[in-house]
Each structure stands twice: as C-alpha cells, then as structure tokens.
Amino acid sequence: METRGIKTATRFHGFTFVEVMVVVALIGILAAITGPKWSNFISRSLARGAVNDLRGALLTARSDALTRKRFSGIVLDFSGHRFLRFVDSSGVSGTTRNCRFDNGERILQDWQELPSRLLFHQQASSMSPEPPLRSCDNQAGGTVGTAQSGSYAIVFRPDGSSCATLAVKMGARGNPNDTFRLAVFPATGMVTVEN
C-alpha cells in the first residue's frame, strides 16, 4: 500500500523570545556581580607580575655578581616605573666600588618598563637616592645613562652580598590594602617577596 499525499507534521524546536530575554538578563546580572572582582584579579595579576620581574632582575644581578666576580646591580626608577641592570665599575680600587649608578657605567639590560597601574606606596634604602636618570635610547651592552629623575641602586658584591638594604611596598592601583613587599638584605643579598 502506498501512502501518497499524506504529509507528516514536522515539529521545530527553538527558544521563545521570553526564554532568550531571561538568559540575557541572567548573563547581565552575573557580569555585574563578577565585573569588579575580575578587574581586581587582573590588577593583582599585573602587580604580581611586576613584582616577579623586579625580583628576577635583582636575582639576575646577584647571580651575575657571583659568577663573574664583579659588582653588578639594578637601578629602580620609581617615578618612571622602570628599572635597568648595570655593572658598577667606578670606585676607589679594584675591590671597592661606590655602589651607585654613575654616568658611563656599563648597562647590561636597558630600561624595562613596569605597568603604570603599579603603585609604589613606600620605598626605603640604606643608601640615599641616586642622582636622576634618563634613557639614552641605546641598546643594552655598553650604553650610557644620564640624569633625569630620582631612583635607587642596589648593587651586589662579588660574594653575593648587597651594598645596601632595600624595602619596597607596592600594589595595584585601586587596591590600596592588597600590597606586596619586596626586600633585599645586605649581609646575604637575599631577595624576598611577601604578600
């Protein structure tokens, strides 16, 4: 038997306008609730990354001092949100250096920028601030820095100890109670980070 001309009903499944609007409203509510938390998470992640960059630069300078038996350090330019690595070659004799960044020092790593959302709440060092510095727009490996804004130098001796102590409290803009503390201890050259 043939069944010609009989059409079977096809049913289409989909969403109604009301169902779509309920889903959109729920997404909007979730976004409003999680938006500020997400922003804080991003700010904290950027701050943590910058702290790790600074710690890495300090550890690299200490390692360079130990392995190459020279005075190696970094300059932190807090107002410019940047740092550079250098070799301290100026001083009284072959075993004594001035533990500062002077014009003409050899730069191992040119200025590395830190996020502008990073805030420096406090900074302290047993050395007085450096004379001002500015970038010379040269490549690392023998370039010269010259003066512009206040900064601090931390120089490591060939035995790994530091010429000065450093304590920096920093955090992300908009999160004043969420801070990190970076410290350098002179006797050992140990670099620590605390939340």
Q: Could you tell me which residues are beta bridge partners of residue 75?
A: 84, 153
Alpha-carbon gap, residue 140 to 131, rounded angstroms: 20
Alpha-carbon gap, residue 46 to 43, rounded angstroms: 5
- Residues 32-55 have a mean pLDDT of 82
Architecture, CATH, for domain 17-194:
3-Layer(bab) Sandwich (3.55)
Tokens of 18: 């009301």
118-131 tens-digit pLDDT? 888 888 887 777 65
Alpha-carbon gap, residue 95 to 98, rounded angstroms: 10
- Of 149, 135, 68, 67, nearest to 107 by C-alpha is 135
CA distances from residue 131 to 29, 108, 147, 164 in whole angstroms, order as listed: 52, 19, 7, 16
Q: Is the pLDDT of residue 40 over 80?
A: no
Per mean pLDDT, which range of 79-83, 103-107, 144-148, 181-185 is the poorest?
144-148
Q: Who has greater pLDDT, 128 or 23?
A: 23
CA distances from residue 176 to 22, 34, 43, 86, 180 in whole angstroms, order as listed: 37, 20, 11, 32, 11
Domain boundaries, the chain: 17-194
pTM score over 0.75:
no
Percent of the chain with pLDDT over 90: 30
Banded pLDDT at 93 (limits 50, 70, 90): low
